[in-house]
Amino acid sequence: MVLQEVRKGEEDQRRSKSVQLGQQGAWTKWDLPSRKVTWAELWRLEPIRISFMLRSVCDTLTSPSNLCRWGLTENPSCKLCGGTATLAHILSGCKTALQQARYGWRHDKVLQTHADILETERRKKRPDLKHEKPAIQFVKAGEKAQTTASSQGGLLSGASTWEMRVDLNKRLVFPDVVHTNLRPDIVLWSDHPDRTDSTMGGRLCEAHERKMSKYQELLELCRAKN
């Protein structure tokens, strides 16, 4: 109990000091979904990407605002709107960039990359699941079943044929299954009786939970329509 109280007091002091630091203590005001980076991901990433990721989180990238703060430039203004060009302003806060559809262009470029990968996977030939019998795996007493790559499958392994629509170039029209006002970025569906429709939005990593919650009702309506 004494150790716990000492640790709690030390942590309170650290947090109180962090709150007073405008730059380094910005994390105390964050209200964002947490992102866990595993050692396997760090091992695969290039050093420059790891550096960019950490510096973007801590807001130490070379934005005009930071360059001015570090004494390397004299003007911290945004070249498009004249506001203070902080990292948040550049990424999503510039009204001129929004009016000029720069954010939409960036969004569509990312969406096009996802769509190209999914289209390549969608066109691959898959076995007819109606005639496919599940393999029986025998396991000795006290041992655990080994999961193979083929048994893990993926999003598209649940059916032999898939249809896909992507919200690029023109407004996406949701498949004639249910009526909805939602506008997902990518819609995948299959007529296979054992496979339900799959709806996905953008920013798959950071906003996965938010997207799952947003489209849950739509997914249930699609399931109800088989």
Look at 27-31, 40-44, 91-95, 183-187 and tell me which has the smallest mean pLDDT: 27-31
- The residue segments making up the domain with residue 209 are 156-224
Q: Is the pLDDT of residue 97 over 90?
A: yes
Strand partners, 163: 189
What is the per-residue pLDDT across 2-29, written as a single tens digit (0 to 9) for each?
999 999 999 999 989 888 887 778 778 7
Distance CA 149, CA 93 (A): 43
The answer to whether residue 193 sits within a structural domain is: yes
DSSP codes joined into one string, 160-190 = S--EEEE--SSPPPPPBTB------SEEEE-
R_g over Cα of the chain: 24
Q: Is residue 35 very low, low, confident or very high in pLDDT (cuts 50, 70, 90)?
A: low
Contact 35, 206 (CB under 8 A): yes
Question: Tens of pLDDT along 103-136?
Answer: 999 999 999 999 999 999 888 887 765 555 566 7
Residue 196 lies in a domain: yes
Q: Is the residue at 111 inside a domain?
A: no
Q: Does residue 107 belong to any structural domain of this protein?
A: no
